[in-house]
Structure 1
């Protein structure tokens, strides 16, 4: 199906071994989806119990492999977003006996490996964040240290940073940290965002009412599903067909300008990608 526009899902996961993998990409493409930003799954979901930063490399390589396969299916292409899921801090501290500072250092080391792929033009952006659930003060501060490190790496490598954070409409604190480090706040993206967000760019979960509100706000935004590709959680979050379906609805309702903003203008501004020029058909 051709929707007459690039259609980008800004944040989803693909698991070629345990999940639907390329079958999910084919569903996305069949309904008019053209471009994907594929975020590596949490490392422990891919069997990686990291001891050093280098241990994350197997997770990143798995993601690069499935991104290459996805690009062969799409009329556009896919890009990898690599990093360390902020929930790892709790796994390290609560289950593996790490001190918060030790967990922080390991997660920062993993980000140091991830940014190598960005510098080599093998990945588009970094992924980091902080827990969306209650944690101790020490874990919270360690998590913010990791987040700030990711922003520093993004500034140095001139790349965007996707964040997993608590539910909020205000990330001006993070925007300030980014600005201090030389990373434009617009290049910081809150994944799983609602329609209103101060400070950084929202990647809005593709719920119809949220998208209409974001469209009417008139500000830059992206669209995502956070598809988890986990056979043990088949109904979790949104499926891979959702973004193209929502784009069709927005177009039918006259939100052409908002679709252009979410799928052409904001991807160019945030990531430096051209979703029109990368269409093959």
Structure 2
């Protein structure tokens, strides 16, 4: 195992026991990775075509089970992040005949079920967002209603909310909604960020070009791969070895302070987790 001398957290990846599953965790561990935030896969990828909020429970339970197995492998541990993928709105409206408000209600109900796990201490944070592609005004508004419900739940659970959104470096609108609910801005986490963000904490895709932007910003950030663990898309989006490799690259280029920010300080600030204290048990 490669010991990088620091906690190494991948802030957003997916695991699927029908694909690489725990083998991906072993790859991450062998290169020096210590901690994972495992986000449930989109419900339909696991064969769940939800009719009610309760139908998402099987997806969440599977993610929690995988996290427990991952924690057995890691020097640190893994945590679940649970929610409803915003792309579900299109699957519901375009393929299953839902009206936008009906899709909204189902997705909000699924988020409420996810929040039960956070409230009970079985998950760390929530996941929501809005489509990253063009949709109708009605679908966009329904999606923003779902996102705002996620913020309501984050306020109730005192937790962070990871967001899948359009490509942007400005989430000022979401920051205003968070402020209205007393959700600290740093707990609004933009997954798949490109290094710079107004209105929340960027979870930076671990490409060197995006990390270089984050270094220039000199602000709190996280690192992620968005590994999707799909046999039809091997290595997509980035492979599970990427974050440890990028941490080593940062260290070799004299950016130890940035490594501490991304893997110790920002996780503590955003999620209230101690990646240093949870190493080796």
**Moved segments of 4+, more than 6 Å:** none
Residue in 1 that maps onto 2:162: 162
Q: Take 1:121 and 1:217, find their aligned partners in 2: how far apart are those partners? A: 33
- Cα drift, residue 19 of structure 1: 1.2
Cα deviation digits, residues 205-262 of structure 1 (max 9, x gap): 0001211221231100000000000001114210000000000000000001000000
Within a 5 Å distance, the mapping from 1:1-281 to structure 2 comes to 1-16=2-17, 18-280=18-280
| Cα RMSD (Å) | 0.7
* Alpha-carbon contact 2:225-2:239 (below 8 Å) kept: yes
* Alpha-carbon contact 2:229-2:235 (below 8 Å) kept: no
Q: Take 2:55 and 2:96, find their aligned partners in 1: how far apart are those partners? A: 16
Q: Take 1:57 and 1:29, find their aligned partners in 2: how far apart are those partners? A: 29
Q: Helix, strand or coil: the match of 2:127? A: strand
Q: Take 1:9 and 1:146, find their aligned partners in 2: how far apart are those partners? A: 26
Q: Which structure 2 segments of 5+ residues have no match?
A: none
Q: Take 2:57 and 2:236, find their aligned partners in 1: how far apart are those partners? A: 27
Query: TM-score scaled to structure 1, two decimals?
Result: 0.99
- Cα drift, residue 182 of structure 1: 1.2
Q: Take 2:94 and 2:182, find their aligned partners in 1: how far apart are those partners? A: 34
Q: Helix, strand or coil: the match of 2:213? A: helix
Q: Helix, strand or coil: the match of 2:36? A: strand
Q: Helix, strand or coil: the match of 2:126? A: strand
